[in-house]
C-alpha cells in the first residue's frame, strides 16, 4: 500500500535513528530507563527555552492526550473542542466519561471562540494548525481560548513544524495550557512513538500523577533526543514537502477537485465524484487516503498526505483512472 492516510513524514526517517543505533549500548537493555526520561526532557527544555520540570514525554503524543483526559476529566465533566478536529481528543474524553460538547467550525473552517468559551469546559482541545482541515486558526481566537477558559486547554501543535510558527509563548503565558508536540510528523519518527508536552510545572506535576513509570524505552529516548539536533534535516524535508503540496494542489484542481489552503503535510480536497467510493476504489488499487465523510461539513472530502513525486504521481494516476471509470 502507498500510505497517504496518516500524515507521517513520507520523505524518510530521521538520521538520528542510524546514528544512535550505531553507538547505542544494546547490552544494557537489561536495565530500566530513567523513570522520567531525564535526558530527553533536559534536551527539550534547552531547545524550547523552558525548564525540564515544564516538560513531560509520552509514547507518542497520543499517550499525552490520553493522560490529559485521565488527569483532568471526572465522569460528567465537560470536554469541548471545535469540530471537525483530530478525533482522538473526543475518544479519550469519552473513555473517561466526559460530556462531549463540540462546536462546529464556520464554513470557512475558522473557529468560533465565543461558542467554545461559553461552554466553560473542564477540558478543551484545540489543534493548531487543525487536522483534518489543514488551516491555522486566527491567533487571537486561540489566545482568547487559552487565556479565558476556566479549565485546562490542550493546544495540540503536532503540525506546527510545517507552518513555520508556533504558539508556545502564548501557551506558557496561560496557566492551564498544555502545548503538545510529536516526533511522528516533521521529525520523521512515527514508528518510534515519542511525543512531549510543555506546560507550567504545576500542570506537569498533575500529569505525572497518571503517567506510567519508565514510559519511554531507553532507545526511543536516545533517538528522540538526538533528533532534536537534526533541524536542517527537518527543514529540508518540510521544504521538499511544500513543493509536492503545490504540485498536488495544481493537479487535483485540474482534475475537478476543490482544494483548500494547507499549513500541514497533507492536502484536503473535495472530490468531483462520490468521496467514499473514490477512497474505496483507491484502496483496491493499493493507495490509502483518509475519507473525511464522517467529519462535519466534509462530505466527499479526502485528506491526502504529501509525499515524494513518485507517490503523488501514483496517487494521481489512480485517481484519474477511477474518475474516468465512474464518469458516464
Ligand atoms: C493532530 C494530531 N495530534 C496527535 C497525533 C498523534 O500523533 P502521535 O501519537 O504519533 O504522536 C496526530 C496523528 O495523526 C495528529 O494528527
Separation of 290 CA from ligand 1 center, angstroms? 14
Separation of 90 CA from ligand 1 center, angstroms? 13
Cα separation, 57 vs 222, in Å, equals: 13
Query: Is 197:172 a contact under the CB 8 Å cutoff?
Result: no
Please name the residue ranges forming H helices in 181-274. 201-208, 218-227, 231-254
Separation of 158 CA from ligand 1 center, angstroms? 6
Q: What is the pLDDT of residues 194-251, one digit of tens each?
A: 999 999 999 999 999 999 999 999 999 999 999 999 999 999 999 999 999 999 999 9
Separation of 86 CA from ligand 1 center, angstroms? 8
Nearest CA to ligand 1 atom 7: 61
Residues at CB less than 6 angstroms from ligand 1: 6-7, 60-62, 86, 127, 131, 156, 158, 182, 184, 190, 195
Specify the pTM: 0.97
User: Probe ligand 1: pick from 9, 63, 88, max atoms within 8 Å of CB?
Assistant: 88
**Could you give the angle at the alpha carbon of 76 between the alpha carbons of 145 and 150, nearest 5°?**
25
Separation of 84 CA from ligand 1 center, angstroms? 15
Q: What is the pLDDT of residues 96-126, one digit of tens each?
A: 999 999 999 999 999 999 999 999 999 999 9
Query: Which regions of the chain carry the CATH code 3.40.640.10?
Result: 16-230
Q: What is the pLDDT of residues 25-56, one digit of tens each?
A: 999 999 999 999 999 999 999 999 999 999 99
Count of other CB atoms within 10 angstroms of residue 104: 13
Query: Which regions of the chain carry the CATH code 3.90.1150.10?
Result: 2-9+232-326
Query: Is 264:188 a contact under the CB 8 Å cutoff?
Result: no
| Among the four given CATH numbers 3.40.50.620, 3.40.50.300, 3.40.640.10, 3.40.50.280, the one describing domain 16-230 | 3.40.640.10
User: Probe ligand 1: pick from 184, 193, 288, 292, max atoms within 8 Å of CB?
Assistant: 184
Q: Which CATH class is domain 2-9+232-326?
A: alpha beta
Cα separation, 224 vs 105, in Å, equals: 34
Query: Is 310:10 a contact under the CB 8 Å cutoff?
Result: no
Amino acid at each position: 500500500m502507498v500510505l497517504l492516510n496518516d500524515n507521517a513524514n513520507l520523505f524518510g526517517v530521521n538520521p538520528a535513528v542510524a546514528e544512535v543505533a550505531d553507538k547505542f549500548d544494546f547490552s544494557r537493555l537489561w536495565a530500566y530507563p530513567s523513570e522520567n526520561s531525564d535526558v530527553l526532557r533536559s534536551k527539550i527544555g534547552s531547545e524550547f527555552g523552558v525548564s525540564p520540570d515544564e516538560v513531560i514525554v509520552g509514547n507518542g503524543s497520543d499517550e499525552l492526550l490520553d493522560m490529559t483526559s485521565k488527569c483532568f476529566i471526572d465522569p460528567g465533566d465537560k470536554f469541548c473542542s471545535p469540530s471537525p478536529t483530530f478525533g482522538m481528543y473526543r475518544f479519550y474524553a469519552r473513555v473517561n466519561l466526559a460530556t462531549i460538547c463540540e462546536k462546529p467550525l464556520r464554513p470557512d473552517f475558522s473557529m468560533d471562540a465565543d461558542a467554545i468559551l461559553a461552554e466553560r469546559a473542564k477540558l478543551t482541545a484545540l489543534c493548531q494548525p487543525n487536522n483534518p482541515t489543514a488551516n491555522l486558526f486566527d491567533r487571537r481566537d486561540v489566545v482568547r481560548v487559552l487565556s479565558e477558559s476556566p479549565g485546562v486547554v490542550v493546544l495540540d501543535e503536532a503540525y506546527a513544524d510545517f507552518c513555520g510558527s508556533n504558539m508556545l509563548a502564548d501557551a506558557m503565558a496561560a496557566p492551564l495550557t498544555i502545548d503538545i508536540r510529536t516526533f511522528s510528523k516533521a521529525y520523521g519518527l512515527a514508528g518510534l512513538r515519542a511525543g512531549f508536552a510543555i506546560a507550567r510545572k504545576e500542570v506537569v506535576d498533575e500529569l505525572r500523577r497518571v503517567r506510567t513509570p519508565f514510559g519511554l524505552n531507553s532507545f526511543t529516548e536516545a533517538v528522540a533526543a538526538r533528533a532534536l539536533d537534526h533541524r536542517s534535516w527537518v527543514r529540508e524535508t518540510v521544504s521538499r514537502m511544500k513543493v509536492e503540496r503545490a504540485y498536488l494542489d495544481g493537479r487535483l484542481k485540474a482534475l475537478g477537485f476543490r482544494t483548500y489552503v494547507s499549513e500541514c503535510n497533507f492536502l484536503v480536497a473535495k472530490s468531483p465524484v462520490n468521496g467514499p467510493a473514490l477512497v474505496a476504489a483507491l484502496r483496491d488499487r493499493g493507495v490509502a487516503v483518509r475519507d473525511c465523510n464522517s467529519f462535519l461539513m466534509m462530505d466527499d472530502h479526502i485528506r491526502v498526505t504529501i509525499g515524494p513525486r513518485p507517490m503523488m504521481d501514483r496517487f494521481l494516476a489512480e485517481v484519474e483512472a477511477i474518475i474516468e471509470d465512474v464518469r458516464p
